[in-house]
């Protein structure tokens, strides 16, 4: 490249800076310009939005947004760990810390922001941190090894993430927020209250409406506590400041660029500084023409695109951005969009609140029916649709948009009802029309292809589900047959494979793949999607089709994920949990003593669960058979906590003890749990039986729940708790014992027969054509004439049930798998280590840095050991 090639210097290489480089490359400007990047951090751009995921196993490399091949291919001179120290605008020259001097034709400032630390005494003491970079996280992780309690100053987005990270590191965690509620910018009082309840239930302590007056230090200068504005003192040995950010504009100030009164480099609609036409500013360091500093990544991306377009002589302007956000904080969905706080004149609110379930939904509606904005806490499933309709009159009533499924809501809207100008991906400003064009004009046929073509879904990922629905709808509208196969190995759905296995009595995955797999998959080994799915189908039908009923027999063993492979739940430090079945929560004192003795002898952590049984954590893999031998000898069975099968049937004490009870709920819970134990299904199953309408067993939050009435039992189906709670629907009422069991038999087998892989009953009930009415027609009224078959399948399961652990401990072949190292079977896994806590023990969490991750429902059972 000749010496007279124009030079673009980019100061800062965060997410916005990287997007600017990509925008230059897309317009061919990297071929006509020399591009030099001065990056302060010791690593290239990474995903700061997902920063906290580092504490759940992702490495800095996983978070990277920078492909070295991209940098090399476009000849970009990227200097990491070498920040700019001075800008000489008259000479158009930048000096870096290394002494490098670069002359520029265009200078782009993407210096981002810095954490605001309140000016309190001892704010720089040992044990005080900010939460902004990977290096910050590494420092916090190291210091936490010798800490017991952590406090976060700030209850906003990053503050809550920081508190969750401290809790994950094993610290007792506190959140101190000056405002009267958490996340005061995003949610209102009702949303903040719902969020508060959920977070406190997770074991975090929240202090709102108080400020930090002083950091208390000990004689060694290290943090020992915090003094708050209400006069109280909080004992803590680690403090994280996450009280907001400020634009990093000092470099601009030093070289005479105009900055706003409250910070931020002043720019026009092309993001050009108002002081110097050769200097631009983008991202959190820029004060946009509308007088706002944008702290979200999506507006920064728009600004990056605007500058690249301007340099390419294209007409472009940044006139403002959508501040809608959808987040998952500590596993809780939180979203806000449009005029979330109802600042418009003469607007109305539509609110749905369920404090028990931690749900809060509010829509702000204009007098003419226009959707102006909203807030969603606990369930943000409808966020994409609602945000897209903001500024217009939705084609259905506002109530139907906030009521949860099963609560009497009318017809719900899907993505296909959205107008073409609706923004689907707010991070990258991608509209529905653009996605449709990717399918119809650019011949994209899969979500990955559309993501590559449009950038939709490539940042936070919250729109990917809607994206998939739009792609399939557009393909179908174009007459293209959409591949709904289970995976790359099978063109059939799970439901179709179930029917094939049942009708043809297929007992082998290999046989099914060779006879019914896709052409290129036959003779292969299958994949991580189809192997456990087919394994589950064969297991659920084993007695009927003549297959082995034990999941570790022969080929079946190779189809299982880590949990089923060892008949135990893998925990985050590489140990396993032991969960014996306690039907209905009823247990004799002698069995309680056995559990206590086993936990003591093997040094296990014990916890009483919400499902009314006792978990024992910390068993090494080679200890599992020894533990279960004692449990089986005492009369215990596997609780199947590791499998996609029935977990528990919870109960209250019912009429036997309670003065309000009208039926024997304990007896019914025990009968149901013993009937359906070991039943393999597409996803885990939970149940409960309440002895009266007071609902102490919380039956309406279960896959199938039973509530006693004076005349018998009411049966509810399709409920679940978790991240997206759903109340169960009433299927039938005032049932006798026999009628109740018969309908549950039919319901469960119909679900197992027709559900998709890893699909909970709640999702299945919402997805299946006809919904609850169709299920009722099939299960109660036998509209398809299959109820005799469903009952027979369940009867076969009940008749052939055998406890998996009782058979395993008597089978030397199966026992051979329970070793940490095949080539050194007597060697325990050195990774499995513990430290004492509250008279028990807990995992030595610093070992998590090696990358072990839990193989539970979050990963949908795909992890392997």
CATH number of the domain where residue 613 is located: 3.90.480
Same domain, residue pair 648 and 795: yes
For the record, the structure tokens of 226 come out as: 């915090």
Nearest-10 crossing angle of helices 447-454, 432-440: 120
- Residue pair 554/548 in contact (Cβ under 8 Å)? The answer is yes
Report the alpha-carbon distance of residue 247 to residue 261 in Å, rounded: 12
Tally of domains in the chain: 5
Report the alpha-carbon distance of residue 415 to residue 431 in Å, rounded: 12
Residue 339 is assigned to a structural domain of this protein: no
- Residue pair 109/14 in contact (Cβ under 8 Å)? The answer is no
Of 544, 505, 590, residue with least CA distance to 791: 544
Same domain, residue pair 105 and 38: yes
pLDDT above 70 coverage of the chain, percent:
94
Q: What is the mean pLDDT of residues 86-99?
A: 96
Q: State residue 427's pLDDT score.
A: 75
Report the alpha-carbon distance of residue 301 to residue 297 in Å, rounded: 6
- Residue pair 265/247 in contact (Cβ under 8 Å)? The answer is yes
Domain finish residue from 311, 346, 364: 311
Per the listing, tokens 């499924």 go with 405
CA 74 vs. chain centroid, Å, equals 35
Sign of CA dihedral 163, 164, 165, 167: positive
Same domain, residue pair 105 and 25: yes
Q: What is the mean pLDDT of residues 411-416?
A: 60
Q: What angle do CA 372, 376, 380 make, to 5 degrees?
A: 110
- Residue pair 265/281 in contact (Cβ under 8 Å)? The answer is yes
The yes-or-no verdict on residue 766 having pLDDT over 70 is yes
Question: How many CB atoms are located within 10 Å of the residue 413 CB?
Answer: 17
Q: How confident is the model at residue 859 (pLDDT cuts 50, 70, 90)?
A: very low
Task: Give the DSSP H or E segment for 102.
Answer: strand 101-103
Phi and psi (nearest 5°) for 365?
-120, 135
Question: Which range, of 106-120, 463-477, 566-580, 778-792, averages the lowest pLDDT?
Answer: 463-477
Of 751, 560, 701, 527, residue with least CA distance to 640: 560
Report the CATH number that the domain containing residue 715 is assigned in CATH. Answer: 3.30.413.10
More confident residue, 99 or 360: 99
Of 102, 70, 72, residue with least CA distance to 85: 102
Question: How many CB atoms are located within 10 Å of the residue 608 CB?
Answer: 11
Sign of CA dihedral 464, 466, 467, 473: positive
Same domain, residue pair 93 and 165: no
Residue 691 is assigned to a structural domain of this protein: yes
Report the alpha-carbon distance of residue 548 to residue 507 in Å, rounded: 8
Residues 6+ apart with CB under 8 A from 170: 144, 837, 842, 843, 845
Alpha-carbon distance values, 459 to 19, 64, 266, 445, 463 (Å): 11, 12, 27, 21, 10
- Residue pair 92/107 in contact (Cβ under 8 Å)? The answer is yes
For the record, the structure tokens of 626 come out as: 């020894």
- Residue pair 418/764 in contact (Cβ under 8 Å)? The answer is no
DSSP H stretches of helix in 575-664: 589-602, 624-633, 654-657
Q: How confident is the model at residue 547 (pLDDT cuts 50, 70, 90)?
A: confident
Strand-pair category, 239-241 with 128-130: parallel
The yes-or-no verdict on residue 855 having pLDDT over 70 is no
Q: What angle do CA 162, 163, 169 make, to 5 degrees?
A: 90
Q: How confident is the model at residue 333 (pLDDT cuts 50, 70, 90)?
A: confident
| Residue 860: Cβ-neighbour burial (10 angstroms; 0-12, 13-18, 19+) | middle
Report the alpha-carbon distance of residue 38 to residue 83 in Å, rounded: 5
Residue 319 is assigned to a structural domain of this protein: no
Same domain, residue pair 732 and 610: no
Coil/strand/helix, residue 111: coil
Same domain, residue pair 729 and 844: no
Q: What is the mean pLDDT of residues 180-195?
A: 86
Question: How many CB atoms are located within 10 Å of the residue 811 CB?
Answer: 12
Same domain, residue pair 132 and 268: no
Report the alpha-carbon distance of residue 775 to residue 781 in Å, rounded: 9
338 Rama class: left (phi>0) / alpha (psi -120 to 50) / beta? left
Phi and psi (nearest 5°) for 854?
-70, 140
Q: Which long-range contacts (CB under 8 A, 24 or more apart) does 342-347 make?
A: 342/372, 342/373, 344/372, 347/372
- Residue pair 10/29 in contact (Cβ under 8 Å)? The answer is no
Same domain, residue pair 33 and 142: no
Question: How many CB atoms are located within 10 Å of the residue 220 CB?
Answer: 8
More confident residue, 552 or 423: 552
Q: What angle do CA 26, 31, 33 make, to 5 degrees?
A: 105
For the record, the structure tokens of 718 come out as: 């399709």
Q: What is the mean pLDDT of residues 670-688?
A: 95
The yes-or-no verdict on residue 295 having pLDDT over 70 is yes
Alpha-carbon distance values, 389 to 342, 353, 372, 414, 676 (Å): 16, 22, 9, 11, 44
Same domain, residue pair 671 and 776: yes
Q: What angle do CA 568, 573, 575 make, to 5 degrees?
A: 30
Same domain, residue pair 577 and 617: yes
Q: State residue 331's pLDDT score.
A: 66
Q: How confident is the model at residue 461 (pLDDT cuts 50, 70, 90)?
A: low
- Residue pair 617/605 in contact (Cβ under 8 Å)? The answer is yes
For the record, the structure tokens of 235 come out as: 């004992």
According to the annotation, is 527 in a ligand binding site? no
Provide the residue range defining the domain that includes 724.
644-802
Residue 13 is assigned to a structural domain of this protein: yes
CA 624 vs. chain centroid, Å, equals 30
Residue 230 is assigned to a structural domain of this protein: yes
Q: State residue 851's pLDDT score.
A: 35
Q: State residue 248's pLDDT score.
A: 95
Residues 6+ apart with CB under 8 A from 477: none
Coil/strand/helix, residue 768: coil
Task: Give the DSSP H or E segment for 93.
Answer: strand 93-96
Q: State residue 408's pLDDT score.
A: 46
Q: State residue 856's pLDDT score.
A: 36
pTM over the 0.75 mark: no
Residues 6+ apart with CB under 8 A from 593: none
Same domain, residue pair 232 and 282: no
- Residue pair 155/182 in contact (Cβ under 8 Å)? The answer is yes
Q: Which long-range contacts (CB under 8 A, 24 or more apart) does 824-833 make?
A: 825/622, 828/620, 828/622, 829/574, 829/620, 829/621, 831/573, 831/574, 832/573, 832/574, 832/575, 832/618, 832/620, 833/573
Residue 359 is assigned to a structural domain of this protein: no
According to the annotation, is 427 in a ligand binding site? no
Which letter does DSSP use for residue 12 in this model? -
Which pLDDT tens digit goes with each residue over 485-527? Answer: 888 899 898 999 999 999 999 999 999 999 999 988 888 888 8
Residues 6+ apart with CB under 8 A from 20: 10, 108, 110, 282, 304, 307, 308
Q: State residue 862's pLDDT score.
A: 29
The yes-or-no verdict on residue 637 having pLDDT over 90 is yes
Domain finish residue from 778, 802, 826: 802
Report the alpha-carbon distance of residue 687 to residue 699 in Å, rounded: 7
Residues 6+ apart with CB under 8 A from 775: 717, 731, 747, 750, 765, 768
Report the CATH number that the domain containing residue 198 is assigned in CATH. Answer: 3.50.50.60
Residue 500 is assigned to a structural domain of this protein: yes
Residue 55 is assigned to a structural domain of this protein: yes
Domain finish residue from 281, 311, 341: 311
According to the annotation, is 787 in a ligand binding site? no
- Residue pair 681/533 in contact (Cβ under 8 Å)? The answer is no
Same domain, residue pair 141 and 211: yes
- Residue pair 663/618 in contact (Cβ under 8 Å)? The answer is no
- Residue pair 121/215 in contact (Cβ under 8 Å)? The answer is yes
According to the annotation, is 347 in a ligand binding site? no
Residues 6+ apart with CB under 8 A from 620: 575, 576, 820, 828, 829, 832
Of 258, 834, 846, 355, residue with least CA distance to 602: 834
Q: What is the mean pLDDT of residues 793-810?
A: 94
Sign of CA dihedral 182, 186, 191, 194: negative
Report the alpha-carbon distance of residue 459 to residue 608 in Å, rounded: 39
For the record, the structure tokens of 304 come out as: 């990056």
Task: Give the DSSP H or E segment for 129.
Answer: strand 128-130
């Amino acid at each position: 490249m000749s010496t007279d090639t124009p030079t673009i210097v980019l100061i800062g290489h965060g997410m916005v800076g990287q997007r600017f480089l990509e925008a230059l490359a897309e317009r061919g400007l990297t071929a006509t310009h020399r591009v030099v990047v001065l990056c302060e951090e010791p690593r290239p751009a990474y995903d700061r939005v997902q920063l906290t995921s580092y504490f759940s196993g992702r490495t800095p490399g996983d978070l990277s947004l920078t492909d070295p091949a991209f940098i090399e291919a476009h000849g970009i001179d990227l200097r990491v760990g070498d920040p700019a120290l001075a800008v000489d605008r008259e000479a158009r020259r930048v000096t870096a810390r290394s002494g490098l001097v670069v002359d520029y034709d265009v200078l782009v400032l993407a210096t981002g922001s810095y954490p605001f630390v309140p000016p309190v005494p001892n704010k720089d003491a040992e044990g005080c941190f900010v939460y902004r970079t990977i290096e910050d996280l590494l420092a916090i992780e190291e210091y936490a090894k010798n800490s017991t309690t952590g406090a976060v100053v700030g209850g906003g987005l990053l503050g809550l993430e920081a508190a969750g990270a401290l809790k994950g590191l094993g610290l007792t965690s506190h959140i101190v927020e000056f405002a009267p509620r958490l996340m005061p910018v995003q949610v209102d009082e009702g949303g903040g209250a719902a969020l508060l309840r959920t977070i406190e239930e997770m074991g975090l302590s929240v202090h709102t409406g108080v400020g930090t007056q002083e950091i208390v230090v000990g004689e060694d200068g290290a943090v020992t506590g915090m003094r708050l504005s209400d006069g109280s003192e909080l004992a803590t040995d680690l403090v994280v400041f996450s009280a907001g950010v400020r634009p990093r504009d000092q470099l601009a100030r030093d070289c005479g660029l105009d900055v706003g009164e409250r910070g931020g480099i002043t720019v026009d609609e092309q993001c050009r500084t108002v002081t110097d036409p050769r200097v631009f500013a983008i991202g959190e360091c820029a004060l946009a023409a509308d007088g706002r500093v944008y702290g979200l990544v999506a507006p920064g991306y728009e600004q990056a695109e605007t500058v690249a377009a301007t340099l390419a002589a294209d007409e472009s302007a940044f006139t403002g951005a959508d501040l809608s956000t959808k987040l998952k904080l500590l596993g809780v969905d939180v979203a806000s969009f449009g005029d979330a706080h109802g600042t418009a004149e003469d607007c109305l609110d539509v609110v749905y609140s369920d404090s028990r379930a931690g749900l809060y939904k509010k829509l702000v509606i204009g007098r003419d029916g226009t959707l102006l904005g909203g807030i969603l806490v606990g369930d943000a499933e409808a966020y994409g649709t609602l945000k897209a309709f903001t500024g217009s009159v939705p084609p259905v009533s506002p109530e139907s948009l906030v009521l949860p499924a099963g609560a009497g809501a009318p017809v719900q809207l899907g993505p296909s009802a959205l107008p073409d100008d609706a923004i689907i991906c707010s991070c990258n400003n991608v509209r529905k029309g653009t996605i449709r064009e990717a399918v119809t004009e650019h011949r994209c046929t899969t979500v990955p292809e559309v993501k590559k073509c449009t950038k939709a879904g490539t940042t936070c990922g919250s729109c990917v589900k809607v994206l998939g629905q739009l792609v399939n709808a557009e393909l179908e509208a174009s007459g293209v047959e959409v591949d709904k196969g289970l995976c790359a190995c099978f063109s059939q759905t799970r439901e179709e494979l179930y029917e094939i296995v049942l009708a043809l009595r297929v007992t082998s995955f290999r046989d099914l793949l060779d006879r019914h797999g896709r052409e290129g998959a036959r003779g292969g080994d299958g994949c991580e999607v189809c192997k456990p799915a087919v394994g589950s189908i064969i297991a659920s039908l084993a007695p009927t089709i003549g297959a082995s009923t034990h999941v570790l027999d022969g080929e079946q063993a190779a189809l299982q994920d880590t949990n089923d492979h060892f008949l135990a739940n893998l925990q985050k430090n590489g140990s396993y949990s032991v969960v014996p079945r306690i039907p209905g929560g009823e247990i004799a004192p002698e069995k309680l003593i056995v559990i206590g003795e086993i936990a003591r002898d093997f040094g296990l952590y014990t916890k009483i669960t919400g499902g009314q049984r006792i978990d024992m954590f910390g068993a090494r893999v080679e200890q599992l058979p020894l533990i279960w031998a004692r449990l089986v000898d005492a009369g215990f069975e596997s609780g199947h906590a590791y499998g996609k099968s029935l977990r528990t049937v919870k109960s209250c004490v019912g009429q036997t003890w309670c003065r309000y009870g009208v039926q024997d709920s304990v007896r019914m819970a025990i009968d149901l749990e013993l009937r359906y134990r070991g039943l393999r299904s597409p996803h885990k199953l939970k149940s409960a039986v309440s002895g009266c309408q007071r609902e102490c067993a919380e039956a309406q939050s279960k896959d199938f729940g039973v509530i006693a009435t004076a005349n018998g039992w009411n049966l509810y189906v399709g409920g679940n708790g978790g991240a997206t709670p759903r109340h169960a629907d009433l299927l039938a009422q005032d049932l006798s014992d026999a009628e109740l069991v018969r309908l549950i038999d039919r319901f469960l087998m119909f679900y197992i027969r027709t559900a998709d892989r890893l699909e909970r009953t709640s999702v299945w009930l919402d997805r299946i054509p006809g919904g609850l009415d169709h299920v009722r027609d099939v299960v109660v009224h036998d509209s398809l004439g299959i109820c005799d078959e469903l009952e027979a399948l369940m009867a076969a399961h009940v008749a052939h049930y055998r406890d998996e652990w009782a058979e395993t401990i008597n089978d030397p072949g199966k026992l051979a798998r329970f070793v940490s190292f095949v080539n050194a079977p007597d060697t325990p896994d050195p990774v499995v280590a513990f430290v004492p806590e509250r008279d028990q023990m807990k995992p030595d969490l610093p070992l998590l840095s090696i990358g072990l991750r839990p193989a539970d429902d979050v990963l949908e059972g795909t992890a392997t050991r």
